[in-house]
Amino acid sequence: MKLITWNVNGVRACLGKGMLDWVEAQAPDVLCLQEIKAKPEQIPEADRHRMEAFFPHIVWNPAERPGYSGTGTLALQTPDESRQGLGYPEFDVEGRAIESRYPGFWLFNLYFPNGQHDHGRVPYKLDFYARLLELCDELHAQGEKVILCGDFNTSHREIDLRNPKENENSTGFLPEERVWIDRYIEHGLVDIYRLRYPERVQYTWWTYRFNARLRNIGWRLDYFMISQALVEQVEDVIIHEEVPGSDHCPVSLILKK
């Protein structure tokens, strides 16, 4: 089973840059999109029909605010259950989550808040981390397994961004943000990319400024975090740093059949 997560930074813009050609060639079982910045009726009709022809099951969760945030989960198989949001109105108005239950796990498609340059939304971001972890704890207590994927908007360790010293006071690398990745790990979740590739340096986001992508001045912000009980089922996790279309690149998780 192949899962792909991708912050497309505007689904309409990414579609215009060949997104569907790449997705169809990859043939994922589930495609999780973040920062779609559109309602489904705003997606060009030809593109929407093409997506619907490839993925029989599609759930969109756009933000109430136009042109902002939002998530979309596109799948070959209809999940046993699906719901939009986490059940917290302060986050759900921004379309930041879609939950899907498949045989063997709950899949969370997530777009974590950005703390903003002035750190004004850091408390909101940390509250999102806390509420989501509570849900994961509840599912683990019930014997369920979870897969969290998406843009976590945080680099965990110095290896996860090109210039850690220069960004010690930048949102996305603040100590109070990074500690939440530690807490998720303490609660039975695994950053599966870093587990498999402890020394590998790859990034998933590059600012559009300063030719950052060409110079590979990036951050690893996009993750698959999975229940410890799922680790043995993982065949590989791949950062597709060569794929254009957004300031983020897609990441694949491949599970054994």
Which residues are tagged catalytic? Answer: 151
Quote the tokens at residue 151. Answer: 């843009």
Closest CA to 253 of 35, 107, 34, 97: 107
Q: Which long-range contacts (CB under 8 A, 24 or more apart) does 156-161 make?
A: 156/181, 156/182, 156/191, 156/194, 156/220, 157/194, 159/199, 159/201, 160/194, 160/203, 160/219, 160/220, 161/203, 161/218, 161/219, 161/220
Closest CA to 4 of 188, 212, 249, 174: 249
Taking residue 92's Cβ as centre, other Cβ atoms within 10 Å add up to: 16
Can you spell out the DSSP letters for 17-36?
A: TTHHHHHHHH--SEEEEE--
